[in-house]
Structure 1
Amino acid sequence: MSLVRWEPLREINALQRQMNRLFDDVMSPLSRYEDGNFTFFPPVELNETADAVHLKLETPGMEPKDLDVQVTAEAVSISGERKTETKTEENGVTRSEFRYGKFQRMIPLPARIDNQSVQAEYKDGILRLTLPKVEEEKNKVVKVNLG
């Protein structure tokens, strides 16, 4: 039997790599394999101005008919399904790639909005929503008591 030198730092580094891999798999913002299906999580950007909330969602390779957008006064729900296939043939070899996946995102809004006046634009795989605030939110002033 031979003696093996114990190096605790090596074991800590290995544990840290395993934990990082675990969090990368679970917290990946773009995709996850769940219940035998590929789930896609498109990135979202949310900006608030004095009059409106602006939402931008990246869905490359999707058509507007593949998206379902529902807006309430407090949140936006966006779901869709990606179906992308590419086929190339060169020198008698056919190469085929495909990506399928469903997604659903519920995005809470920082202010109440007028969901009857939402404007949407979809161009080059980017969905842009302009969500106007209700009048009470636009004129909201909070008095702060000092002492």
Structure 2
Amino acid sequence: MSLIRWEPFREIDSLQREMNRLFDTMLPTTGRELGTFIPPVELKETPEAFQLKLEVPGIEAKDLDIEVTADSISISGERKSETETEEKGYKRTEFRYGQFRRVIPLTAHVQNDKVEAEYKDGILNLSLPKAEPEKTKVVKVNVAS
């Protein structure tokens, strides 16, 4: 019987590779790095309109770009935030930068020229009125003989 030398760091390295592989398969690959700012969205539908609420703390209204098509809404912006504190001779600086873009598909067409927006305390509220459903057109087709 031969003796085998135990190397604990090799076992730890193997465990770390296995955990990385596990997380890589569990997390969606969207091309984004972990920690990317993706603001949460709440969307409610009523018979007359969609009500959308987007949480974007630390972003000013002028830094938001909102585009509405008949069947989707795109919201993008950039967060630029810096804080600096000095206490007992220590200086502490924190910053958060990052761009985001959310495209939300809608289940019905909206009147994109009548969208109302309100931004207060880091919450963007949008009211997207639904478009009137198009009536079925009946067209008579003449058959040439």
TM-score tier, shorter chain, comes to 0.7 to 0.9
- Give ranges in structure 2 of 5+ residues lacking alignment: 5-13, 136-145
CA root-mean-square deviation: 3.0
**C-alpha displacement at 1:26, in angstroms?**
4.1
Query: Which of 53, 57, 75 is residue 54 of structure 2 equivalent to?
Result: 57
CA spacing shift, 1:128–1:2, aligned 2, 3 Å:
farther
Q: Which is richer in strand?
A: 1
1:33 aligned partner: 33
Matches within 5 A, 1:64-79: 64-79=61-76
- Pair 1:128 & 2:125 matched: yes
**TM-score, normalisation: structure 1:** 0.72
Structure 1, unpaired ranges of 5+: 4-10, 140-147
CA offsets 1:44-81 (integer angstroms, 9 cap, x no match): 11111000011111111111011000111111011100
> Does 1:98 pair with 2:100?
no
Partner of 2:39: 42
* TM-score normalised over the length of structure 2: 0.73
Q: Equivalents in 2 of 1:124, 1:114: separation in Å? A: 27
Calculate percent identity across the aligned residue pairs: 55
Report how far residue 40 of structure 1 moved: 1.8
| Residue identity in the other structure for 1:33 | E
Could you tell me how far 1:25 is from its partner in structure 2?
7.2
Higher Rg: 2
